[in-house]
Structure 1
Amino acid sequence: MTGESQREHGAGGPTAGTGASAVRELAPYLLLASVAGLVLAYLAKAPCRFGGHWEGAGRYAFACYTDVYPLYYGYGFTDGVVPYLQYDLEYPVLIGAVMFLLSSVVGPIEDAWARGFLFFDLTALLMGAFLVVAVFAVAAAAGDRRRMRSALFMALAPGTFLAAFINWDLMAVALSVLFIVAWGARRPALAGVLLGAAIAAKFYPLVFLGPLFLLCLRAGRLRAFFLALATTAGTWLALNLPVMLAAPHGWSTFFVFSSERMADWGSIWYALQEWGVQIQPDQVNTLGTGSFVLACTAIAVVALCAPRRPRLTQLLFLVVAAFLLTNKVWSPQFVLWLVPLAVLARPRFGALGLWQLAEIGYFVGIWWYLLSMSGPEDLAGLPVAGIGFDVYGLLLLGRFAAVALLCALVLADVFAPGRDPVRAGGVDDPSGGVLSDAPDRFAWGVWAGRAARVPAGSA
């Protein structure tokens, strides 16, 4: 093999080994932080789980809302319904499979209410396992012991434990971070398998392919990209095809539901409508999609024109953040998508802490805003009566601004690599895999000439 081929197909160098050794050394601390985060996550749901507030206004007053318990009954799992075949489930197939398997485990229990409690507990246990995997994967992706505190932030961030058990997102989050680890270990085929599985759980990791292509194009590593793309497509198809063939209508429900959904809570489009801006329901898709395409175009320009090739996690964070900022829905649990990417893209904890404060404000705000829509009879005995849109709108804008600020700071690091907290240590890209330390082969713009002259390992 030539030196270039070894770099492109090899199994990682000294940095990877050092990172793996450091993960093993820090494993007790990572596990302890993960368990602490999971305890906090379960306690956050305690007023619902133990206080009888699964339904009604209490779940909003105590901010313990979860989709898991009500959907067990709402989707007919208590009656043994098979998703997609007997019920049109608006979730991708891996989440549907998990819901069905867990409902099958609790099915023999005679008491229907006890089944719902156990279904939630088993879901929390499984999502907790995915959180532990995600925390260790963030540590591995960080590549350096000093940067592995990012994994502790992942485990203990308020956004993590407040949103962990709202839905099934942690499965896709763990698979997405494992994709980053596999790519960083120079295993593009395995990375594609993990990414395909992540997309089969939640559709948002699909946007990872754009930044990966742009970075591989700039570095002249398209062979690795197309290998990852092939295994991504193959894995996603293998997981989806049986359901597509057996229940095409049930399988397509997720896509139909997503396309027909109107501007919903959390999105800037919902806020604008509430503030009196005339946006028709059929315009929301156009505005949201158009805004996201513009944002992706700008990210592509950054990827190809920056004085030094951006790190993979920097672009992944930017594209997922752009998706959320422009999307017509921004559910509270979507913060889980951003936390691992944010700590890997920019492990500086001042701005990250400010963002988490904004997430806490929004988390309480959305539930209390929904609480304000309850009738007087539903509010009896509750400690609060909710907030109006005037306060909720400000909290929504606060979260929007905090994420936008993180994007601006990541962009500043891209265009001034010397201030990047990762590259300041003398490394190129711990998660770059075949991209790390690779010379540029294709770059545009006024910095293109300079980009070709900047050594890949310099700051």
Structure 2
Amino acid sequence: MTSTEARAPWVARAVPYLPLGLIAALGATLAYVVRLPCRTGGWNDQVSTYTNFCYTDIYPLYFDRALATENPYFAHVPFDKQVEYPVVLGEVMQVFSWIARALEPDHVSQAVRFYDLTVVLLGVCLVVGVLLMAAVAGPTRRWDPLWYAISPAVVLAAYINWDLVAGALSMGMLLAWKRQRQVAAGVLLGLAIATKFYPLMFLGALFLLTWRTARWRPFLVTLGAAVGAWLVVNVPFMVFAWEGWRRFYVFSQERGVDWGSPWLFFQNKGWPVLGEADVSKLGMVSLAILCLGIAVLTLAAPRRPRLAQICFLALAAFMMTNKVWSPQFVLWLVPFAVLARPNWKPLVLWQLAEVWYFVAIWLYLLAQPPLSRDDLGIGDDTYFTAVWGRIITIGIMMAFVVRDVLRPDKDVVRQADIDDQAGGVFDDAPDRFTLQSALR
């Protein structure tokens, strides 16, 4: 934020963001309209759900996770029926289930009301996330968040799950770091990790840039605040509801290869024969190799990379090596991809691949047991074109970001005489450690 912006009244500072907020609200509304065929009864018929492309986890989980009668973490239900989400999301689900039960007499009506309440929250999170992203991007790139506000892939995936909550918290963390409010950044990061696990990757990005700049105090303050915030919201459940609390971590460890993952392709083709344990090991090894490459890139680049670039690379590496790659994971990556490299051509290519995957996954499920509707669905080969379409287009974007890091003159953000729009203490910081200096 410039000194002129800081002196301006908050109303004047807010005016440039108003159009973005309205467009994000339009995106949130369109996402609701996309699922109207299901909301009016389609969720009770899987074929109708898939042919109308309006699936969501929110409605069925109201029944499948005993939200109609129980507290998510204290539920007297089998372990595999307990809520498999971190505690922030679990308690959001609990609060909305209480409200739904108070407003509606029967379970079906309660589930619809639970969905509506959740969608209101997610819509607000989308608008807030877009506005926070605009503040992170700064005045010269203020319209870049339109990709997050209303791109087709975001609209289609917005209400499949609760991912937009973690997205708003992650953007809040990035803005707090930009404004050098390290405690706030840490608290928001800790809450984001307690909502969805993927923001943990951003700690690695902060660590690598801290290593290069030796700005250790801000990083350690943020790390301490993140750990503290995570403990505050997790420890009560660890103490009083251990079995329910650990369900997320056990589920993540034991979960097999699922839809969207490249490992599913290799298992399907038998190239080579992979068991679940093999995939878990290969996934961790692959992620470790990619993270090592990102570390070398960060420390060897001729100029310190921007924070958004390293966050994007780390998050993309996590997604590409994971056992699961659900359609809504696009929501994780969009804001960081745009902040890392706001070039429309690779972004359009990737968004087209995401839209194709969104269509393909539901058509593929139609052809799988127990539905086995080959007349409506698609087969393995067609489905895996969508899987590889996402992998290849994200790989292309990663390659461009790596090119921008190695050749900063190609970075469109830095061409506007900006060092690091989200860097905070890293912005214009001199190098204190690089691989070249270490070798010398």
TM-score > 0.5 by shorter chain:
yes
Q: Equivalences for 1:92-171 in 2 at 5 Å?
A: 92-108=86-102, 109-144=104-139, 146-171=140-165
Residues 5 and 13 of structure 2 are in contact (CA less than 8 Å); yes or no, is this contact kept in structure 1? no
Decide which of 280, 292, 304 is 1:285's aligned counterpart.
280
The match for 2:28 is: 38
The match for 2:340 is: 345
What is the distance in 2 between the residues matched to 1:389 and 1:205? Answer: 32
The reply on whether 1:357 has 2:357 as its aligned counterpart is no
**1:281-311 Cα deviation digits (max 9, x unpaired):** 1111100000000000000001111000000
Computed over aligned residues only, the root mean square deviation of the Cα atoms, in angstroms, reads 2.0
Residues 305 and 447 of structure 1 are in contact (CA less than 8 Å); yes or no, is this contact kept in structure 2? no
What is the distance in 2 between the residues matched to 1:440 and 1:187? Answer: 22
What is the Cα deviation at residue 249 of structure 1?
Answer: 1.3
What is the Cα deviation at residue 14 of structure 1?
Answer: 3.7
What is the distance in 1 between the residues matched to 2:55 and 2:329? Answer: 15
The more displaced of 257-266 and 14-23 is 14-23
The match for 1:455 is: none
Distance change in 2, residues 1:22/1:368 (3 Å): farther
Decide which of 74, 93, 100 is 1:85's aligned counterpart.
74
Residues 83 and 96 of structure 1 are in contact (CA less than 8 Å); yes or no, is this contact kept in structure 2? yes
What is the distance in 2 between the residues matched to 1:231 and 1:15? Answer: 30
What is the Cα deviation at residue 379 of structure 1?
Answer: 5.2
The reply on whether 1:60 has 2:50 as its aligned counterpart is yes
What is the distance in 1 between the residues matched to 2:4 and 2:401? Answer: 23
Distance change in 2, residues 1:30/1:401 (3 Å): same
The reply on whether 1:28 has 2:11 as its aligned counterpart is no
**1:80-103 Cα deviation digits (max 9, x unpaired):** x01111153210000000000000
Distance change in 2, residues 1:156/1:38 (3 Å): same
Residues 176 and 198 of structure 1 are in contact (CA less than 8 Å); yes or no, is this contact kept in structure 2? yes
Distance change in 2, residues 1:43/1:72 (3 Å): same
What is the distance in 2 between the residues matched to 1:341 and 1:448? Answer: 32
SS in 2 for 1:351: helix
Amino acid at match of 1:31: G
The match for 2:392 is: 401
Q: Equivalences for 1:56-455 in 2 at 5 Å?
A: 56-79=46-69, 81-86=70-75, 87=77, 88-108=82-102, 109-144=104-139, 146-277=140-271, 278-374=273-369, 385-445=376-436
SS in 1 for 2:194: helix
**1:209-261 Cα deviation digits (max 9, x unpaired):** 11101101111101100000000000000000000000111111111111111
What is the distance in 2 between the residues matched to 1:61 and 1:16? Answer: 49
Distance change in 2, residues 1:23/1:169 (3 Å): farther
The number of residue pairs the alignment matches comes to 432
The more displaced of 284-293 and 40-49 is 40-49
What is the distance in 2 between the residues matched to 1:286 and 1:324? Answer: 15
What is the distance in 2 between the residues matched to 1:15 and 1:234? Answer: 35
SS in 2 for 1:171: helix
SS in 1 for 2:55: coil
Residues 306 and 447 of structure 1 are in contact (CA less than 8 Å); yes or no, is this contact kept in structure 2? no
What is the Cα deviation at residue 18 of structure 1?
Answer: 9.4
What is the distance in 1 between the residues matched to 2:66 and 2:43? Answer: 21
Distance change in 2, residues 1:22/1:206 (3 Å): farther
Unmatched 5+ residue regions in structure 1?
1-11, 450-459
Amino acid at match of 2:347: L
TM-score (norm 2): 0.94
Residues 207 and 319 of structure 1 are in contact (CA less than 8 Å); yes or no, is this contact kept in structure 2? yes
What is the Cα deviation at residue 374 of structure 1?
Answer: 4.8
Distance change in 2, residues 1:21/1:286 (3 Å): farther
Identity of aligned residues (%): 46
What is the distance in 2 between the residues matched to 1:415 and 1:119? Answer: 48
Unmatched 5+ residue regions in structure 2?
none
Amino acid at match of 1:119: F
Residues 341 and 401 of structure 2 are in contact (CA less than 8 Å); yes or no, is this contact kept in structure 1? yes
TM-score (norm 1): 0.90
Amino acid at match of 2:196: K
SS in 1 for 2:435: coil
Distance change in 2, residues 1:189/1:410 (3 Å): same
What is the distance in 1 between the residues matched to 2:331 and 2:176? Answer: 20
Residues 54 and 65 of structure 1 are in contact (CA less than 8 Å); yes or no, is this contact kept in structure 2? no
What is the Cα deviation at residue 187 of structure 1?
Answer: 0.8
